[in-house]
Amino acid sequence: MPRPREEFDDLREFQFRDPEEVLEDDQMYTVYEIARRLQGVDPERELDVETENILLDWAIPWMLDHSDAFVFAEPDDENEPGYYGLK
């Protein structure tokens, strides 16, 4: 349900960063790590499943939009996520 704009104290511009601003060029990351870096969340911090899913909801479309900037490496095990890095 929509809420009146005046109910919010902190309104900020909606901006996405480029992959080069989020990732180190000599590192490979799981999609979970990328999702956390996009939001400035410590990769070691424990998160509940719902929060992790929300972060992924933002990260996956961002990665698809910037897919030409990424390379992919297969996971070590089929039950683990793959790794992504800058091209």
Q: Where are the domains of the chain?
A: 17-86
The whole-number average pLDDT for the span 14-40 is 93
Using alpha carbons, select from 51, 57, 49 the residue that is nearest to residue 31. 57
Which phi-psi region, left, alpha or beta, contains residue 19 (left: φ > 0; alpha: ψ -120 to 50)?
Answer: alpha
The fraction of the chain above a pLDDT of 90, given in percent, is 91
Quote the pTM value.
0.83
> Is the predicted pLDDT of residue 6 greater than 90, yes or no?
yes
pLDDT, mean over the chain: 94
Query: What pLDDT, on a 0 to 100 scale, did the predictor assign at position 64?
Result: 96
Q: How far apart are CA 51 and CA 25, in angstroms?
A: 27
Q: What is the structure's pLDDT at 49?
A: 95
Q: Is the pLDDT of residue 14 over 90?
A: no
